[in-house]
């Protein structure tokens, strides 16, 4: 190596352009991309209605599939912020339901309390004021055991539930909140928190 | 030809003195352009001087009198510098907004992700500068290109991608948008955002982009920056997606997958190919003849196609399929690199032969300067006290040879 010869002269070569159009085009392209797509997204409908009785596949492993069934009309899926089988955002009036599916990567599946603590940390990463209360046992309609507890933050309160899949390979959490929702509003729709079923593929 | 003859007849040190004088006083040569080429366009410089272009082809003419250095940056360069600074600051703010919550709750995991990102960046930065043929490029423009990828391009991509993917969800429905959203969003948004940075770097530091090989390197570095930040975001996302029960493991697994499996055929490769396109355009003052414009467009489209291939859920998402896609992308990038490298070395060697002849150097000795090993061997052969002057002569010959190569590239037909 001859490092001393590697340094190049700074500044411009003979073709050093005084042309404005390349940087103008570059800046224009960036500006268009960060403004045009958000504007387009704003004019498109960001939600789609969820039919009563509709079962939505919300997570799966090799052996188990989870479905959430909506018993009531009026729920809407926010498609823009949802990702299939990972995170869903629903709303019904002032109530907001967020469903997340997590897939632990450890060889030994984490316990439900460990997953609950993980959910607490995950929620705090999104909103630093969010706190989960101590968990209580709960059961889904199909008998799957889970945990439930209160959720509070500076701006809203509600309920969180968490169901590890029977094979331990994934878990589904749901939070039912609403910035403008009263306890009665949330109580009206909290049956959705238990309307999840885990089905073994070979069943 | 008369200019070429004048160049040959000039004593070698003379142009150096004259250039130094010009640079010191900020007078003499037109700013950034060949004499008579008012706008400094490469096409004009090459066409106007003729013999200079021939110098690279071995006529013996040296380009020295025809290239001059701007005594101050031009307004577009200043504007591009400002755009890079603003874009990087804005992108950094967006990224801090993305990461601050996770950094607060998962500090150890985020530090681990940062360490892995820094290691990836350090290795990539060294490697991509090292692969430039003939000699390593100037560090500062390279760092700025990488900075754009690290901050501005990724920050803008966070905004543009989320909005476009949301729009796709509205149009296609959630399931289809989840499957195809990345392939329908990232190749267009991200390739343009990364490439915009290379254009700005080329405007702010025109000497950094004088041909396809420079474009490949700057593009690779902008892509590297993008890839490193994206890896960081994915690592933090992996903590959440795994239930936040074993964050460090999630970070390491994400890094292994994104560096070890998809890394060889990811953003650096795509933007390197697109950057090569800019290396075709910059030497002709961004006013390419049709053939060269078509080639540049083809390279940008190839970069987007490579990106699409990686993101599209075609052939499944198994590890062998992903590895096959990465291999295709890596091979495409290497073919482009080898072509750019060959072109650069050929032009520089021709110019070195001419420049060496003008200094009375044997042809073999002049050509040896085109490689790092050749320069090192010459230094080793020289007496210890001669190292500094030998090194200076090497640098001067290489400066002029690369200058001639750039001019010949601008003068060459598409």
Q: Is the pLDDT of residue B31 over 50?
A: no
3-state secondary structure of A120: helix
Q: Is the pLDDT of residue B30 over 50?
A: no
A39 domain residue, yes or no: no
Task: Give the pLDDT confidence score for residue B74 in this predicted structure.
Answer: 82
CB A67 within 8 A of CB A55: yes
User: What CATH number does the domain containing A160 carry?
Assistant: 3.40.1000.10
What distances in angstroms separate CA B360 from CA B54, B60, B351, one per listed residue? 19, 12, 14
Chain A closest-CA separation from residue B254 CA (Å): 11
A126 domain residue, yes or no: yes
Q: What average pLDDT does this structure show over B275-281?
A: 96
Whether residues B170 and A6 touch (CB distance < 8 A) is answered with no
Read off the pLDDT of residues B292-333 as tens digits, 9 standing for 90 and up: 999 999 999 999 999 999 999 998 889 999 999 999 999 999
ipTM of the complex: 0.89
Selecting from A14, A77, A124 the residue whose C-beta is nearest the C-beta of B45 gives: A14
Among B306, B326, B303, B322, which Cα is nearest to B314's?
A: B322
Read off the pLDDT of residues B76-135 as tens digits, 9 standing for 90 and up: 999 999 999 999 999 999 999 999 999 999 999 999 999 999 999 999 999 999 999 999
Name beta bridge partners: A68: A56, A196
A52 domain residue, yes or no: yes
Taking the Cβ of residue A108 and every Cβ of chain B, the question of whether any pair is shorter than 8 Å is answered with no
Read off the pLDDT of residues A126-150 as tens digits, 9 standing for 90 and up: 999 999 999 999 999 999 999 999 9
Strands in A85-177 per DSSP E: 87-92, 95-102, 131-132, 136-139, 145-152, 157-164, 171-177
Nearest CA in chain A to B240: A122
Q: Is the pLDDT of residue A58 over 80?
A: yes
Taking the Cβ of residue A121 and every Cβ of chain B, the question of whether any pair is shorter than 8 Å is answered with yes
Task: Give the pLDDT confidence score for residue B160 in this predicted structure.
Answer: 98
Task: Give the pLDDT confidence score for residue B316 in this predicted structure.
Answer: 84
Chain A closest-CA separation from residue B69 CA (Å): 6
CA atoms B101, B106, B110, B113: torsion sign? negative
CB A104 within 8 A of CB A118: no
Q: What average pLDDT does this structure show over A18-43?
A: 95
Q: Is the pLDDT of residue B22 over 50?
A: no
C-alpha B3: how far from its chain's center? Answer: 33
Task: Give the pLDDT confidence score for residue B359 in this predicted structure.
Answer: 83
A75 domain residue, yes or no: yes
Read off the pLDDT of residues B131-174 as tens digits, 9 standing for 90 and up: 999 999 999 999 999 999 999 999 999 999 999 999 999 999 99
Q: Where residue B412 falls among pLDDT bands split at 50, 70, 90?
A: low
Structural domain of A157: 47-200
3-state secondary structure of B301: helix
What distances in angstroms separate CA A119 from CA A135, B329, B378, B400, one per listed residue? 11, 38, 64, 62
Chain A closest-CA separation from residue B242 CA (Å): 4
Q: Is the pLDDT of residue A10 over 90?
A: no
Q: Is the pLDDT of residue B59 over 50?
A: no
Q: Which of B136, B173, B243 to mutate to test the interface with A (most CBs of A within 10 A)?
A: B243
Residue A114 CB neighbours (<10 A) = 17
Whether residues B406 and A22 touch (CB distance < 8 A) is answered with no
Rounded distance between C-alpha atoms, residue A64 and residue B207, angstroms: 59
Q: Is the pLDDT of residue B5 over 50?
A: no
Read off the pLDDT of residues A149-159 as tens digits, 9 standing for 90 and up: 999 999 999 99
Chain B closest-CA separation from residue A165 CA (Å): 13
Task: Give the pLDDT confidence score for residue B411 in this predicted structure.
Answer: 64
Whether residues B163 and A103 touch (CB distance < 8 A) is answered with no
């Amino acid at each position: 190596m001859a490092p001393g010869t590697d340094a190049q002269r700074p500044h411009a070569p003979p073709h050093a352009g005084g042309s404005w159009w390349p940087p103008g085009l570059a800046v224009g392209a960036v500006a268009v991309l960060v403004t045009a797509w958000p504007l387009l997204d704003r004019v498109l409908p960001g939600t789609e209605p969820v039919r009563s009785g509709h079962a939505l596949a919300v997570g799966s492993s090799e052996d188990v599939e989870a479905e959430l069934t909506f018993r009531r009309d009026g729920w809407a899926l926010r498609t823009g912020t949802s990702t299939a089988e990972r995170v869903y955002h629903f709303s019904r009036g002032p109530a907001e339901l967020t469903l997340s599916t997590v897939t632990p990567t450890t060889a030994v599946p984490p316990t439900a309390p460990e997953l609950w603590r993980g959910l607490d940390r995950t929620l705090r990463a999104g909103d630093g004021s969010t706190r989960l209360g101590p968990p209580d046992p709960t059961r889904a309609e199909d008998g799957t055991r889970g945990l439930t507890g209160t959720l509070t933050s500076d701006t809203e309160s509600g309920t969180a539930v968490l169901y590890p899949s029977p094979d331990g390979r994934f878990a589904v959490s749901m939070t039912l909140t609403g910035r403008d929702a009263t306890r009665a509003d949330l109580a009206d729709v909290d049956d959705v928190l238990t309307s999840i079923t885990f089905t073994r593929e070979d069943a | 030809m008369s200019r070429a003859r004048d160049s040959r007849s000039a004593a070698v040190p003379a142009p150096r003195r004259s250039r130094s004088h010009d640079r010191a006083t900020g007078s003499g040569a037109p700013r950034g352009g060949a004499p008579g080429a008012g706008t400094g366009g490469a096409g004009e410089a090459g066409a106007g001087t003729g013999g200079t272009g021939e110098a690279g082809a071995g006529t013996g003419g040296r380009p020295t009198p025809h290239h001059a250095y701007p005594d101050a940056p031009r307004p577009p360069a200043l504007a591009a510098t400002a755009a890079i600074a603003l874009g990087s600051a804005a992108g950094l703010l967006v990224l801090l907004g993305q990461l601050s919550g996770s950094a607060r709750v998962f500090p150890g995991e985020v530090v681990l992700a940062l360490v892995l990102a820094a290691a990836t960046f350090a290795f990539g930065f060294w490697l991509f500068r090292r692969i430039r043929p003939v000699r390593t490029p100037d560090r500062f423009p390279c760092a700025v290109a990488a900075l754009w990828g690290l901050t501005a391009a990724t920050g803008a991509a966070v905004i543009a991608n989320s909005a476009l993917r949301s729009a796709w969800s509205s149009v296609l429905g959630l399931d289809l948008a989840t499957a195809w959203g990345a392939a329908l969003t990232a190749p267009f948004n991200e390739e343009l955002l990364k490439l915009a940075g290379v254009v700005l770097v080329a405007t702010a530091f025109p000497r950094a982009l004088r041909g396809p090989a420079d474009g490949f390197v700057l593009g690779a570095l902008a892509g590297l920056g993008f890839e490193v930040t994206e890896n960081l975001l994915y690592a933090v996302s992996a903590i959440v997606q795994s239930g936040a029960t074993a964050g460090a493991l999630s970070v390491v697994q994400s890094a292994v997958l994104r560096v070890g499996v998809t890394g060889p055929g990811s953003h650096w490769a795509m933007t390197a190919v697109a950057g090569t396109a800019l290396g075709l355009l910059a030497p002709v003052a961004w006013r390419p003849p049709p053939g060269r414009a078509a080639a540049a467009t083809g390279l940008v489209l190839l970069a987007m196609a490579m990106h699409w291939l990686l993101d599209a859920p075609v052939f499944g998402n198994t590890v062998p399929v992903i590895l096959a896609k990465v291999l295709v992308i890596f091979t495409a990038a290497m073919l482009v690199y080898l072509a750019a490298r060959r072109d650069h070395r050929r032009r520089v060697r021709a110019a070195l032969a001419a420049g060496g002849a003008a200094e009375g150097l044997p042809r073999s000795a002049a050509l040896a300067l085109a490689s790092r090993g050749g320069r090192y061997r010459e230094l080793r052969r020289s007496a210890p006290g001669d190292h500094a002057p030998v090194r200076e002569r090497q640098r001067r010959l290489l400066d002029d040879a690369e200058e001639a190569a750039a001019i010949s590239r601008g003068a060459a037909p598409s």
